[in-house]
Amino acid sequence: MAAYWLIKSEPNVYSIADLQRDRTTIWDGVRNYQARNFLRAMAVGDRAFFYHSNAKPPGIAGLAQICRTGLTDPSQFDPTSPYFDPKSPPNQPRWQTVEIEFLEQFGQLIPIDRLKQTFSADDLLILRTGNRLSVTPIEPAIGDRLLTLCRNPD
């Protein structure tokens, strides 16, 4: 049973257009244990809403699919990476992640205001004020409704 997730990215760092261009990417740089645990729980075939944070306006831009799981995030061992973690033991890496592939970019971005009109903070954890988790789960029924909204916003 494929699950839904929501992943956040600042579009000036990595956008849905970048994912479309690359087709796939390793979702590196997550350095929060709760978010990492969600990454560990992902399965191939799960779908992730791609949210643009720190954008004007912020909102859901597209959809991706998990295509590989259980990867060791290579950036934790790269001293030149902003995500370098010198405390991560090489024989027991702290940070795992997944590879995602582009599925679609929605015809228009679904701004956070629209999400708040349709869903509660219990439905979508990103709507909770002060929430900083970059990876969050979405219940199947909510995900179905959200996908319908994203594809038919008008």
Identify which of residues 68 and 123 has a Cβ nearer to DNA in the complex. Answer: 123
Among residues 131, 140, 141, 153, which is the contact residue for DNA, using CB under 7 A?
131
Among residues 53, 65, 69, 72, which is the contact residue for DNA, using CB under 7 A?
53
Task: Tell me if residue 25 falls in helix, strand or coil.
Answer: strand
Check: CB of residue 115 under 8 Å from CB of residue 60: yes
**Measured between alpha carbons, how far is 123 from 115 in angstroms, rounded to an integer?**
10
**Measured between alpha carbons, how far is 94 from 83 in angstroms, rounded to an integer?**
12
8 binds DNA (CB under 7 A): yes
Among residues 34, 108, 118, 120, which is the contact residue for DNA, using CB under 7 A?
34
| Shortest distance, position 65 Cβ to DNA, whole Å | 21
Which has the closest alpha carbon to 47: 97, 103, 93, 89? 103
Site string for DNA, 90-119 (x = CB under 7 A): ----------------------xx--x---
Which has the closest alpha carbon to 43: 72, 24, 16, 70? 70
By the criterion CB under 7 A, which residues form the site for DNA? Answer: 8, 10, 31-34, 51, 53-55, 57-58, 112-113, 116, 126, 128-134
